[in-house]
Amino acid sequence: MVGESQTTEGDYHAFVSLDGEGMVDLNSLIDLPDGVILIRATGINNNGQVTATAGYRSQYARSSEEALSG
């Protein structure tokens, strides 16, 4: 299972859960360029490869603020 989950700081991060053993933040599993964050995982195949949506932290923060105020 894959998806998105809200962190204690209020940000959304992409996650994966393999064999029902809890959620793992995908951002902790790979090295990303500075400022890039995986926000939502949308699929996983039989080989365990995950598709995810990423963005820059500054753009993501601005979008979240706009969504809350709009």
pLDDT in tens, 27-43: 999 999 998 999 999 99
Answer whether 18's CB lies under 8 Å from 48's CB.
yes
pTM of the model: 0.73
For residue range 11-67, what is the model confidence (pLDDT) as tens digits?
889 999 987 789 999 999 999 999 899 999 999 999 989 999 998 876 555 444 444
Cβ-proximal residues to 2 (8 Å cutoff; 6+ apart), any chain: 14, 15, 16, 17, 41, 42, 43, 44, 50, 52
